[in-house]
Chain A
Amino acid sequence: MRLKLTLTQKRSMLGLLFIAPWLIGFIFLFAGPLAQSISFSFNKLTVSPGGYELQNVGWSNFTDALFVDANFNRILTESILGMIVDVPLILFFSLFSAVLLNQKFRGRGIARAIFFLPVILASGAVAAAESSGLINLVGNAEVAEQLGQASSQFNIRSMVMILFEAGFPISFIDYIVEAVMRIYEIISNSGVQILIFLAALQSVPGSMYEVAKIEGATAYETFWKVTFPMVSPLILTNIIYTIIDSFSDSPVTKMIYETAFKTQNFGLSAAMAWLYTIIVSILLLVMGYIVSRKTFYHN
């Protein structure tokens, strides 16, 4: 007997057919491993030739990661703090550049091409090769790091003095100086964010700017009353993208990798990964909540 389907049923079958490859992948290569990863984090895992064996150890992997391991706590807090410091800087820089690149001037095409070059060249491999090249050169990782910073530095003392004289609080000066010193890092991490903001700026209807001009708004007012509210929904997108993007070369990821494949402690590594995931999700939720309350939605 032939199965009789209504049009809606046919459509939904077709829809399932379209997403079938992804669905299969999701079940076998995402949901499955995710569940396994949870179970690994509560077990001691030993690899055997034909697979692996599990031995339940309760919460001890988590307590090991948090209280016994000498470095995990430090690296985790450092990288989360770094993330919190970086996000506003990248956001500010990318919005600024997008506004800049959206104006009409000669050579805009070339300027855009160069601004997006870091998207192409953001390679973990090259960064690794460069830093290990430096380590080779000076024979010490600490010194190499300082040298790497020094090479991108100009004389910042004058800037600190000016800011201090102007009466800014020390913590703010620290933040700014830090930002200036890592300008290359910030620029090279904001390529995609500039693209997203630029696309948002292009979708602002030109009539709005005309109205603002007729009403006598200055450029400054136009930015805060028209441009900023119109691109504000994308701020959340960019925050999320920035955070996700920082996973790939985060020192925590590296540590999780090394715990698993150098010291063969798979259970501990899974526990670390979950702690990281949970903290980042909390961060994302909090940021999402705060930002979405302040966002202006045009539609």
Chain B
Amino acid sequence: MQPIWNPADAAAHNRINRVKNKTLNGLWSICRFLLIIGIMFIIVYPILMKFSVAFKAKEDIYNPTIYMIPVHFTLDNFKLALDLLDYWPLLLNTMTYVVITMVLTTMSTALAGYGFARFKFPGSNLLFGLVVLTILIPMSTLMVPMYLHFRNFDVLGLVHLFTGKDGVNLLNSFWPSVITSATGTGLKAGLFIYIFRQFFRGLPKEIEEAALIDGAGGIKTFFTIMLPNALPPLITVTLFSFVWQYNDTFYTSLFMSDSALMPLKIASFPADAGQYLSALAGLGASGKMDPNYVALVVDTGILLAILPLIVLYLFVQRHFVESVERTGVVG
């Protein structure tokens, strides 16, 4: 016997289904919520700890009942760390350095990316292959020759020809980084060229043709038409270049080991802080300061070093995510 289709049964069935779906969805949202909160906590926890430590007074170090929020608030740690790092001049110097390299890197890589995206010239594919090669070769391979190169900097022997000297020592100045970023061979520049190329390839050709017909030359077209349209990759590249330069220890310690730059100062900060604090307490160079107190000041220093980035990130984080999505790295 055929089962008879019963509207009441079907309605009940539908209702059950709906309730089932709803509970499943609800359960999944709870799971997702817990997961996301958990991962976010893991990411934020170290930063929260640094904040908590930075305001902690000496008396609170050995108080086991304190979790996160100190009992004795103090700004002494900040004062000490600011003093020790010579913070404001250091920040100014670092920012100048980072902004200069960022602007130069963005310019040179945008030009090269556009050149590779829109022009066919003999060997253009081979040259782009070489761009990819620059991404893949670890920088440690080029370290020694680059160092020697900038120690006696001399393009084609010109300096030797005119002054008779063996080249100019450019180490411990901004010049090595300025030169590498202006020529698109600096920190992760290959990646940036790749990003620009992908984006420019995705733009419709008609825009340029219209500009050409209206009488704009190739260079003018690039600066007035293409570049203003390339906002997403420009944002991506400037942001990443800024952040990576600010955090980079490899090139800075290679070329500018004596300069006052944030990454270098922070890397050696624990040792400096230890010495300075022992000297301050009149223990002499060999005396040992309470290491927990030194750690307090060191953590405050680290917080001061990453604070500019966090503040910057608060303002630009929306562009950060959106621009990468619109850059077309994916295409």
- B-binding residues in A (CB < 8 A): 8, 11-19, 21-26, 28-30, 32-34, 36-37, 40, 45, 47, 50-52, 97, 100, 103, 105, 109, 111-126, 128-130, 132-133, 136-137, 183-184, 187-188, 195-196, 198-200, 202-203, 234, 237, 240, 244, 247-248, 252-253, 256-257, 260-261, 266, 269-270, 273-274, 276-277, 280-281, 284
Bitwise interface map of B from 271 to 305 toward A, beta carbon under 8 Å scored 1, else 0: 10010000000000000000110110011011001
Which listed segment binds A: B3-11, B12-20, B32-40, B69-77?
B32-40
- CB pair A121 B306 closer than 8 Å: yes
CB of B83 closer than 8 Å to a CB of A = no
Q: A15-B115, A188-B43 are in contact. Are A22 and B183 (CB under 8 A)?
A: yes
CB distance from B142 to the nearest CB of A (A): 5
Give A136 to B34 CA distance when docked, in angstroms: 37
Give A75 to B189 CA distance when docked, in angstroms: 28
Which residues, 228 to 257 on B, are CB-close (under 8 Å) to A?
243, 246-250, 253-254
- CB pair A195 B324 closer than 8 Å: yes
CB of B64 closer than 8 Å to a CB of A = no
Tell me which residues across on chain A come within 8 A of B68, comparing CB atoms. none
Tell me which residues across on chain A come within 8 A of B243, comparing CB atoms. 119-120
Contact pick for B302, options A97, A118, A126, CB 8 Å: A126
Bitwise interface map of B from 149 to 179 toward A, beta carbon under 8 Å scored 1, else 0: 1001001000000000011000000000001
- CB pair A129 B144 closer than 8 Å: no
Tell me which residues across on chain B come within 8 A of A112, comparing CB atoms. 317, 321
Tell me which residues across on chain B come within 8 A of A22, comparing CB atoms. 108-109, 111-112, 115, 131, 183-185, 189, 193
- CB pair A126 B143 closer than 8 Å: no
Tell me which residues across on chain A come within 8 A of B131, comparing CB atoms. 22
Taking each of A118, A133, A200, which has the highest tally of chain B beta carbons within 10 Å of its own beta carbon? A133
Can you list 14 A-B contacts (CB < 8 A)?
Answer: A11-B218, A15-B124, A21-B112, A22-B131, A25-B185, A111-B36, A114-B43, A119-B243, A123-B266, A133-B295, A198-B325, A199-B327, A199-B329, A253-B250
- CB pair B144 A12 closer than 8 Å: no
- CB pair A18 B29 closer than 8 Å: no
- CB pair B250 A30 closer than 8 Å: no
Give A114 to B329 CA distance when docked, in angstroms: 22
CB distance from B113 to the nearest CB of A (A): 9
Tell me which residues across on chain B come within 8 A of A280, comparing CB atoms. 138
CB distance from B118 to the nearest CB of A (A): 7
- CB pair B138 A277 closer than 8 Å: yes
Tell me which residues across on chain B come within 8 A of A281, comparing CB atoms. 136
- CB pair B143 A199 closer than 8 Å: no
CB distance from A13 to the nearest CB of B (A): 8
Give A266 to B131 CA distance when docked, in angstroms: 26
CB distance from A227 to the nearest CB of B (A): 14
Q: A100-B36, A196-B330 are in contact. Are A12 and B122 (CB under 8 A)?
A: yes
**Can you name the residue of chain A whose Cβ is closest to the Cβ of B149?**
A33
- CB pair A187 B43 closer than 8 Å: yes
- CB pair B140 A129 closer than 8 Å: no
Q: A15-B115, A29-B149, A132-B271 are in contact. Are A126 and B305 (CB under 8 A)?
A: yes
Contact pick for B263, options A16, A25, A116, A123, CB 8 Å: A123
Further contacts, 18 of them, CB under 8 A, given A25-B185, A32-B149? A12-B119, A19-B111, A19-B116, A37-B141, A40-B145, A105-B29, A121-B247, A129-B266, A129-B269, A130-B302, A136-B274, A137-B292, A195-B324, A198-B325, A199-B330, A260-B147, A269-B143, A277-B137
